[in-house]
Amino acid sequence: QVQLEESGPGLMQPSETLSLTCTVSGFSLTSNGVGWVRQPLGKGLVWMGTIWAGGSTNYNSAVQSRLSISRDTSKSQVFLKMNSLQPEDTGTYYCARQRYYFDYWGQGVMVTVSS
Amino acid sequence: DIQMTQSPASLSASLGETVTIECLASEDIYDILAWYQQKPGKSPQLLIYDASSLHTGVPSRFSGSGSGTQYSLKINSLQPEDFASYYCQNGLSAPNTFGAGTKLELK
């Protein structure tokens, strides 16, 4: 059974670095990509970036300079790190298994950036 | 970057009706398009991939069609659980852009 679960802090201060973890089960990270998608409250879905089965990454150019996605295949975990947080980074962050579409999603983690 | 223009932004319909949502890509995406449904407070769920293939467990009243730059999602005989938001997504190349979404509401 494919499952993904995001974890991380709910409240961040501006300029801090966000660290989120996506723990997966039911599939291998060496055979599947995992992407991160953000959703501001009441708004649409924004693809942030992806780490592919081979370990390569793609990032949304809007956040590329601040974003890093990595993984630990032995622990079945994917990590998102984003620095220089601003209030506009507030939203729900989802990880999802990605072929070129997202077929299984985590439940999401709400992140609020506020002083 | 490929842009995805989704319409309408909102749609009001009655139970049993049939509705269609459109998605226009800024360039040919060769049918590498997905549709998602999202209910309030829940994660998005994959409905359709490769423009017209139904994901596992998705009811047959949902169908996708289109090619090139123009795609559509059709929902036949609306059920209460279908009132939600819907998004298309470019799967051809990064950035894997989503459409802005369509909110389907009960009339």
SS (H, E, C) chain B: CCCEEEECCEEEECCCCCEEEEEEECCCCCCCEEEEEECCCCCCEEEEECCCEECCCCCCCEEEEEECCEEEEEECCCCHHHCCEEEEEECCCCCCCECCCEEEEEC
pLDDT number for residue B36: 98
Is the separation of the CB atoms in B2 and B65 below 8 Å? Answer: no
Rounded to a whole number, what is the distance in Å from the CA of A43 to chain B's nearest CA? 8
Report the alpha-carbon distance of residue A86 to residue A114 in Å, rounded. Answer: 8
pLDDT at A40: 96
Q: Find out whether A91 and A37 touch, Cβ atoms under 8 Å.
A: no
> ∠ CA(B34), CA(A89), CA(A78), 5° rounding?
60
**Residue from B43, B45, B73, B102 whose CB has the most chain A CBs within 10 Å, to mutate:** B43
pLDDT at B73: 98
pLDDT attached to residue A22: 98
**Residue B80 pLDDT more than 90?**
yes
Best residue in A5, A47, A67, A100 for a mutation probing chain B (most B CBs within 10 Å): A100
Give B70's pLDDT tier (boundaries 50, 70, 90).
very high
| pLDDT at residue B46 in the model | 98
pLDDT at B1 over 90: no
Q: What is the pLDDT of residues B23-45, one digit of tens each?
A: 999 999 999 999 999 999 999 99
Confidence of residue B96 (pLDDT cuts 50, 70, 90): confident
Closest approach of chain B CAs to the CA of A41, in angstroms? 10
CA dist., res. B3 & res. B35, Å (int): 15
- Cβ of A44 and B32 within 8 Å? no
Judging contacts by C-beta atoms under 8 Å, the chain B residues touching residue A103 are: 46, 49, 55
Q: What is the pLDDT of residues B44-62, one digit of tens each?
A: 999 999 999 999 999 999 9
Q: How far is B42 from chain A (nearest CA, A)?
A: 7
At residue A105, the 3 state secondary structure works out as strand
Rounded CA gap, A46 and A54, in Å? 23
Inter-CA distances, B70 with A24, A60, A100, B29, B65, Å = 34, 24, 18, 9, 9
Do residues B4 and B23 touch, judged by C-beta distance below 8 A?
A: yes
Q: What angle do CA B97, A16, A56 make, to 5 degrees?
A: 40
| pLDDT at site A52 | 96
| CB pair distance less than 8 Å for A45 and B55 | no
Which of the residues in chain A have pLDDT under 70?
none
Question: What is the pLDDT at residue A15?
Answer: 96
Give the contacts of B66 (CB within 8 A, at least 6 positions apart). Answer: B23, B31, B33, B51, B52, B72
Query: What percentage of chain B carries pLDDT values higher than 90?
Result: 92
A42: nearest CA in chain B?
B40
